[in-house]
A = this chain, B = another copy of it.
């Protein structure tokens, strides 16, 4: 060695101060480092490297993005919003960086790629690493692909479900029977949950419902319910509501049930892969974590729904029933008609309006939403040993017609923090038919897109209100649907989109 090393030339190079750039990479942990930072050069970090980031006793693994400009000052690093949350970081915190150790469970993914079945311990390792944010999106995509195409056996799906439950919190309730419902998505306006919960809770069964916000749809059940009452309740508050009222409808995001599921769903959506094993594990892990003992799963089937064929629905049913049995949970499957939206409104406030109309037995309440809710509630009531098979639907109708469901719903809203007035959109525009004929197709996917372009779910009042159903006869000039928006600019924007030939309703002979 030619020269002595001056100690002040050799600081601990692996430490940098945090500065928040506010970049939302949607649940991928990313770290931003200056290309010329000492830590990049001396650690040999390259763009896309996986880096271990420590802040106090919290550790995550993040993907490196190099910054070649002055948005970061020398000595500073930044994190994507997701990484920022995972680390509970604050502006100016000092993080310690090092090369991430290779994630050991990736060797199990590789083994699966080579056709070997996943064992329970392997599955637990994989899911724990995914929940802890140790997999990059590239790794998650590989795991999902390796499990897709029917490559997950019944046994592996049971492992996966169990592992997903274990990786998060679990709720427990002081009763023997806790009922739940789930719909395998894809139908705009299909907002039966608040009605079903009201009926079932009024009957006396325990139904502590946690719902999600919209991920890619114009409204999630939590978004719609939030129009009518607060939904962000903590565990203690939620327990109190259920204790008093037998049921609740709250946002599931406040409790960490099956956290791996949220990470997997995000990448699944980007891939648009249908993996029955993953779907089954996703549904059942959430239900088991929520403490449910009995659940009704609604699978709408339709050309533009999530499940497109009866064969696909039957395969899913078969897997759901078998896996649930292994896990000691009782489930019942309803394969329903998914050919068109349910109710009239699409968007949080418009859907809330429909829900209330059905609960209040209003004469103009959408009949299809009412019938669907009664079918679902009836099947759930039949989980009760006190209700004979086939008798549930009549009992549900009775509860709804007598006003018991509406009273129960008002009480639940009050217990959750107080019932709210439904807001109305300041700007509306009616789209009329330019043809004469019969309504032959209503495209669920395009309706969702249109409602989102109108501003839903961010603008709670935005969305669209359908005036026709499949089979209706229309004349030229008859109203098809009405657009609702919060601003004139958005209304003009959606109209121009429709004028470009984007039609959601097909009129035929």
Q: Residues on A close to B: CB < 8 A?
A: 1-6, 9-10, 13, 20-26, 32, 35, 38, 41-44, 46-48, 65-69, 71, 80-81, 102, 106, 110, 113-115, 136-142, 144-146, 148-150, 216, 266-267, 270-273, 426-430, 449, 452-453, 455, 458, 487-493, 496
Contacts and interface: CB of A to CB of B under 8 A. Distances in A.
A113 B145 contact: yes
Contacts of A66: 23-24, 26
27 contacts: A1-B428, A1-B429, A3-B488, A5-B489, A9-B487, A10-B488, A10-B496, A21-B67, A21-B69, A22-B67, A22-B69, A23-B32, A23-B65, A24-B66, A44-B449, A71-B71, A102-B272, A106-B272, A113-B149, A138-B141, A138-B267, A138-B271, A139-B270, A139-B271, A141-B141, A141-B145, A142-B144
Given A42-B453, A110-B273, A273-B110, A489 B427 contact: no
Contact of A149 (B9, B65, B115, B487): B115
A102 B110 CA distance: 29
Nearest to A216: B46
A443 to B, nearest CB: 15
Nearest to A266: B48
Given A3-B488, A10-B496, A139-B141, 11 more contacts: A1-B491, A5-B488, A5-B491, A9-B487, A24-B47, A24-B67, A41-B490, A102-B272, A114-B150, A115-B149, A138-B271
B48 A26 contact: yes
A83 to B, nearest CB: 13
A25 B20 CA distance: 18
Contact of A23 (B67, B145, B487): B67
Contacts of A148: 113-114
B270 A48 contact: yes
A216 B48 CA distance: 11
Given A113-B149, A272-B106, A41 B458 contact: yes
A46 B269 CA distance: 12
A138 B267 CA distance: 7
Q: Can you list the 4 inter-chain pairs with the closest CB atoms, starting with the nearest?
A: A22-B69, A26-B47, A22-B68, A26-B48
A137 B3 CA distance: 46
Contact of A9 (B267, B426, B489): B489
B35 A2 contact: no
Nearest to A13: B493
A19 to B, nearest CB: 10
A150 to B, nearest CB: 7
Given A10-B493, A113-B148, A492-B5, A65 B25 contact: yes
Nearest to A218: B44
A459 to B, nearest CB: 9
B270 A427 contact: no
A424 B406 CA distance: 85
A112 to B, nearest CB: 8
Nearest to A45: B452
Q: Among the interface residues A13, A489, A496, which one has the most CB atoms of the partner chain B within 10 A?
A: A489
Contact of A137 (B20, B35, B137, B427): B137
Contact of A452 (B4, B23, B44, B453): B44
A21 B65 CA distance: 12
